[in-house]
A and B are shown apart, each in its own frame.
Chain A
Amino acid sequence: MILAQDTAPLFDWDWVGRNLDAIWERTVEHLALTGVALTVGIMIAVVLSVVALRRPRTYPTITAATGLLYTIPALAVFALVAPFVGIGTATQRFITAEIALVSYTLLILIRNIVTGINEVPAGVREAAMGMGYRDGERVRQIELPLAVPAVMAGIRIATVTVIGLVTVTALLGLGGLGFFILDGLRRSIIFPTEIIVGVALSVLLAALIDLSLLGIGRVLTPWARGRGT
C-alpha cells in the first residue's frame, strides 16, 4: 500500500504537550455541555413522567413525541433549531446545542422513570397503602427508592449517549472534545493526533462517568447487593 502524503504522522506527543491547556478547556466545555443537557433533561423528564404516571392515558402520546425527537438525528435537530435561535453569539450556539441534546435524552429518561415506578411490585404498594402510608409519603418513601435502579440505568444510557453527541456540536462551533476531531480533519493536511486525542478522550470520559454513575447507583441501593438466589 502506498502511503499518501495526505496526513501528518500518526501521533505527535509534542502537540499534546504543547496543547494541554486547550485540551483541558475543551474537556471542561464537554462536561459543561453534557452536565447542562442531563440536568435539564432530567428535570423535564421528571415532570413529564409525573404526568404520565398520574394520567396513564397520556403516556403513549408522551412516548410518541419524545420518540420523534429521539429518532430525528441530533444533527438535524441542531439544524431545525439553529435558524430560530440563531448561531451568531456563543450563547445562541450553546442554546441551540442544548435544545437538541436535551430532546435526545427525554425518551430514555421518561421511559425508565415510568417503568421503574410501575415495576414496583404490586404487593409492596398494597402493603404500604394498607399500613397507612398517605399517597405522597408512599411515593416518596417506598416507590421512588425502589425505582432508583431503573432510573439510574436510564441516566447512565442518556449520559453516555450525550457525551457522544456533544462531539457533533463541533459543527456549531462548540464541540467540547469534538472540536479536536473536526479541527484535525479540517486542516490543510489532515492531523491525526488531534483526531485521536478527541476520540480517545471522549471514550475515556464516557467510560469514567459511566462507571461513576454505576458506583453511585450501587451506593444508593444497598439492598440489591449479595442476593442469595
Chain B
Amino acid sequence: MDFLSDVISWFAETGRWTGDDGIIPRTIEHLWLASLPMLIAVVVALPVAVWLGHRRIGGFLANAVVNIGRAVPSFGLIILAAVFFARAGVSLRFWPGAVALLALAIPPIFTNAYAAIVTVPGETVEAARGMGFTENETLWRIEVPMGAPLILAGIRISFIQVLATVPLAAVLSSGGGLGQYVVRGFAQGASGLVEVFAGAVLIAALTLGADWLLSRGERLVLPEGLRRRGSDEIRAAASIS
C-alpha cells in the first residue's frame, strides 16, 4: 500500500501534468509520434492494397508483409533506424521512431485492406460489372464500402500497435512520449519503480482508451448490414491478430 500511495503522490506533484516533462505535453507528443506515421501509412499502403485486391493479384505479398512485419522486432527496428540517422547527423528524438513506426504501421493496414477487397464475393463484383458499373465505380462504390469493416479494423489495429510501440522510442533520447517515464524509471533501478509504474498506468490508459474510442467509432461509421463481415473468421483468415 505504501507503494501505491507513492504512486498517487507522484501524480499529484506540482508541474507533473503541465510543465516541460509533464504528462499532457508527453501525451500529445505520444499521439503525434503515432499519428504522423499512421497518416503516411494509410496514404501510401491503402490505395496500393485496395488496387491489388481489386485486380486479385499480389496475395503472396499481403501474406509476406504480415509475416515479415511480425518477425522483425519493433524494438530492434527503432534502434537500427537510430543507427542510420545518427550516422547522418540527424537528431534521434523524432526520426528513427517515426521511420520504424511507419514500417510497423503498414502491415495491418495493407493486409486488412487487401483481404477486405479480395473477400468481396466474386458474384457481387460480376453483378456490378454486368449492371454497367465501370471498373473504378465497381471498386469505389461497391468493393470498398463492402470491405469497409475490415479496412477500418486494420487501421484501428495498426494505430493501437503503433501507439503501443511509441514508448520504445524513449530509449533513444528524451522522446518516446509517455514511454520516457518507464524507460527512465527502469534505468534508475529499484528507486525508479514508482515512475515506472505511473508511466505504465498512463500508457495503459492511453492505449486502452484509444482502442475503445476507435472501436466505438468503427461501429458508428459502419452500416448495420456490413457489420457481419468484420467477423473473427475473416480476420483469422486474413491472419491478422
Contact = CB atoms under 8 A, between A and B. Distances in A.
A73 B82 CA distance: 21
**Interface bin, chain B:** 35 or more
Q: Tell me whether chain B's interface is mostly helix, strand or loop, or mixed.
A: helix
Contacts of B88: 1, 3-4
Interface of chain A: mostly helix, strand, loop or mixed:
helix
Contacts of A206: 70-71
A72 B80 contact: no
Contacts of A165: 73
Contacts of B74: 164
Contacts of A171: 171, 182-183, 186
A202 B68 CA distance: 12
B171 A2 contact: no
A80 B201 contact: yes
Given A115-B233, A167-B73, A71 B208 contact: yes
A202 to B, nearest CB: 5
B110 to A, nearest CB: 17
A41 interface: no
Interface string A44-74: 0000000000000000000000001011111
Contacts of A82: 186, 193, 196-197
Contacts of A1: 88-89
Contact of B203 (A75, A83, A170, A203): A75
Interface in B169-207: 171-172, 179, 182-183, 185-186, 189-190, 193-194, 196-197, 199-201, 203-204, 207
A87 B193 contact: yes
A210 B71 contact: yes
B220 interface: no
Contacts of A75: 167-168, 179, 182, 200, 203
B227 to A, nearest CB: 16
A199 B239 contact: no
B158 interface: no
Given A185-B172, A210-B71, A83 B80 contact: no
A6 B73 contact: no
B160 interface: yes
Contacts of A182: 79, 171
B190 A88 contact: yes
Contact of B207 (A72, A86, A153): A72
Interface in A63-106: 68, 70-80, 82-84, 86-88
A79 B73 contact: no
A207 B72 CA distance: 9
Contact of B82 (A87, A161, A190): A190
A79 B197 contact: yes
A46 B229 CA distance: 28
B48 interface: no
A79 B202 CA distance: 11
A212 B131 CA distance: 49
B236 interface: yes
Interface string A184-195: 110000101001
A157 interface: yes
B190 A185 contact: no
A88 B193 CA distance: 11
Given A71-B211, A210-B67, 9 more contacts: A6-B89, A82-B193, A83-B3, A83-B193, A163-B73, A167-B75, A171-B183, A184-B83, A190-B82
20 contacts: A7-B87, A68-B208, A76-B203, A76-B204, A79-B182, A79-B197, A79-B199, A79-B203, A82-B186, A83-B193, A111-B232, A164-B70, A164-B71, A164-B73, A168-B73, A178-B75, A185-B82, A190-B83, A203-B71, A203-B76
Interface of A: 1-4, 6-7, 68, 70-80, 82-84, 86-88, 107-108, 111-112, 115, 150, 153, 157, 160-161, 163-165, 167-168, 170-172, 178, 181-182, 184-185, 190, 192, 195-196, 198-199, 202-203, 206-207, 210
Across the A-B interface, the 10 shortest Cβ-Cβ residue pairs: A79-B200, A73-B164, A199-B76, A164-B73, A4-B89, A206-B71, A76-B203, A76-B200, A83-B193, A167-B73
